[in-house]
Amino acid sequence: MKKLISAVLVIALALTSVFALSACSKEESKDGGDKGASSVTIAIPNDTTNEARALLLLQELGFIKLKSDAGITATVRDIEDNPKNIEFAEIEAAQLPSALQDYDYAVINSNYAIDAGINPVKDSLGIEGSSSAYVNIIAVKNGNENEPKIKALVAATESKKVVDFINEKYEGAVVPAVDNPTDGFDPSIDYDALKGTTITVAASPTPHAEILAIVKDILAEKDIKLEVTEFTDYVQPNLVVDNGELDANYFQHVPYLDDFNAENNTDIVSAAGIHVEPIGLYGGKQSSLDALK
pLDDT tens, position by position, 272-282: 999 999 999 99
Predicted TM-score of the model (pTM)? 0.78
| Residue 132 in this model has a pLDDT that exceeds 70 | no
Determine the Cα–Cα distance for residues 276 and 136; give it in Å rounded to an integer.
Answer: 6
pLDDT of 23 higher than 80: no
**Which pLDDT does position 17 carry in this prediction?**
39
Q: What is the DSSP annotation of 55-95? A: HHHHHHTTS-EE-TT--TT--GGGEEE-TT--EEEEE-GGG
Determine the Cα–Cα distance for residues 116 and 121; give it in Å rounded to an integer.
Answer: 14
Average pLDDT of the residues in 36-62 = 89
DSSP 29: P
In the prediction, which pLDDT does 130 show?
59
Alpha-carbon dihedral angle through residues 201, 203, 207, 212, given to the nearest 10 degrees: 10
**pLDDT, tens digit, for every residue of 161-186?**
999 999 999 999 999 999 999 999 99
Is the confidence at residue 12, as pLDDT, over 80? no
What is the arithmetic mean of pLDDT over 26-42? 54
pLDDT digit string, tens, across residues 231-252: 988 899 999 999 999 999 999 9
pLDDT of residue 131: 60
- Separation CA 174–CA 207 (nearest Å): 8
Share of the chain above pLDDT 70, in %: 86
In this predicted model, which residue has the larger pLDDT, 6 or 247? Answer: 247
Residue 211 has pLDDT above 80, yes or no: yes
CA distance 168 to 97: 24
Is it the case that residue 292 has pLDDT exceeding 70? yes
Note the pLDDT of residue 118.
95
Task: Convert the pLDDT of each residue in 61-119 to its tens digit.
Answer: 999 999 999 988 899 999 999 999 999 999 999 999 999 999 999 999 998 999 899 99
Q: Cα–Cα distance between 174 and 275 in angstroms, integer? A: 7
Question: What is the chain's mean pLDDT, rounded?
Answer: 88
All structural domains of the chain, each given as residue ranges with its CATH number in brackets, are 41-129+280-292 (3.40.190.10), 132-276 (3.10.105.10)
pLDDT of residue 32: 39
Say how far apart CA 58 and CA 181 lie, in whole Å: 33
pLDDT the model gives residue 198? 98
